[in-house]
Amino acid sequence: MSLKLVKTLWGVLEAGDTAKWDALFARIKAEGFEAVEAITLTWRMDSQLFLSLLRKHGLSLVCQIHTTGGSINEETGEYEYCTSNKLNDHVVSFVSLATEAAALKPVLINSHSGHDSWGSGDKAVDFLEKALETEAILGIPIVHETHRQRLFFSPYSAAELLANKKLEKLKINADLSHWCCVCEHLFDHTDPRDDFWLGTLQAVAAHCGFVHCRVGHAEGPQVPEPDAPEWAKEVDTHFEWWRFIWSAMCKRGDSVIWSEPEFGPPPYLQTLPYTQAP
């Protein structure tokens, strides 16, 4: 088993300037990363240059896609992350974005999939069945992130979906920091209120194909400073969860485990009022 680290390009200023990619990828490789994770806006800037420079520096690619998102709104200039709650819109978007991403030959595709309003009902299952069909056609592993506003936003609906026999081949990206924020709680299987948690974590591990390693807390998806002693409990708890998942992936025979240390920019990163300084 080999644990390989992925560097997110989220919040990396040089990622928005093609002239800086060469030096950026050289630095990322020197820091010990084996791959980068990029959204559509990044690779669309110049996909041929992007891929050639990744090859030059020995870096693999993880493509991140956002169903019904992925572009800049021409009127507002803002990034469009999720623009619909309609099933068909998300299915069409997923197939298109996944097909585009697969052409880049990534090691995997990380999808922010569907809409949280679907819960674990028929819409969610229908979408994920179509996603599995698309994954089989494309031949690239696709994971679905446990992200807010998306299908796997909550541990409760996620557990129901992962228990569905129709979805036994489904793979997820475990970013458990989101669940701490959604449920306003740091889960602990020894707490009687959390008697569901061990079973949920086992289901996550059984379906996990990627891990986003960010530390969340009861009031947000990212602690302000992971090294600060006041966040030691959150850090230790998240590491316990990650080790549990990694161990399960190792036991089932995964030869490579992709994991991504993540600490996001504003508004995930706290800033001062008025100045917006970190």
Please name the amino acid found at residue 9: L
Task: Read off the tokens for 171.
Answer: 């793979």
Specify if 276 maps to a domain: no
Specify if 268 maps to a domain: no
C-beta atoms surrounding 269 within 10 Å:
12
Specify if 165 maps to a domain: yes
Note the pLDDT of residue 206: 98
Note the pLDDT of residue 210: 99
Note the pLDDT of residue 168: 98
Number of helices and strands (H, E) in the chain? 9, 10
First to last CA, the chain: 38
Domain CATH for 46? 3.20.20.150
Please name the residue that has the structure tokens 């559509």.
40
The SS3 assignment for 254 reads coil
H or E element that contains 250? helix 232-251
Q: What is the distance between the alpha carbons of residues 103 and 95, in angstroms, rounded to a whole number?
A: 12
Q: Quick one: angle between helices 122-138 and 87-102, nearest 10?
A: 20
Which whole number is the average pLDDT over 266-278? 93
Q: How far is CA 91 from the centre of its chain?
A: 19
Specify if 203 maps to a domain: yes
Task: Read off the tokens for 234.
Answer: 């959150």
Which whole number is the average pLDDT over 71-99? 97
Average pLDDT over all residues of the chain: 98
* Structure confidence by residue, pLDDT tens digits, 148-157: 999 999 999 9
Specify if 273 maps to a domain: no
Res. 254 pLDDT band, cuts 50 70 90: very high
Res. 1 pLDDT band, cuts 50 70 90: confident
Query: Domain of 150?
Result: 2-261
Note the pLDDT of residue 123: 98
Q: How many domains does the chain have?
A: 1
DSSP bridge pairs for 173: 145, 210
Which whole number is the average pLDDT over 54-79? 97
* Structure confidence by residue, pLDDT tens digits, 23-45: 999 999 999 999 999 999 999 99
Note whether 198 and 154 are within 8 A (CB). Answer: no
Q: How much of the chain is helix, strand and coil, in % rounded to 5?
A: 45, 20, 35
Dihedral angle sign, alpha carbons of residues 223, 225, 226, 228: negative
pLDDT at 14 over 90: yes
Distances (CA, A) of 105 to 4, 54, 65, 119, 241: 18, 12, 14, 32, 30
Specify if 144 maps to a domain: yes
Note the pLDDT of residue 216: 98
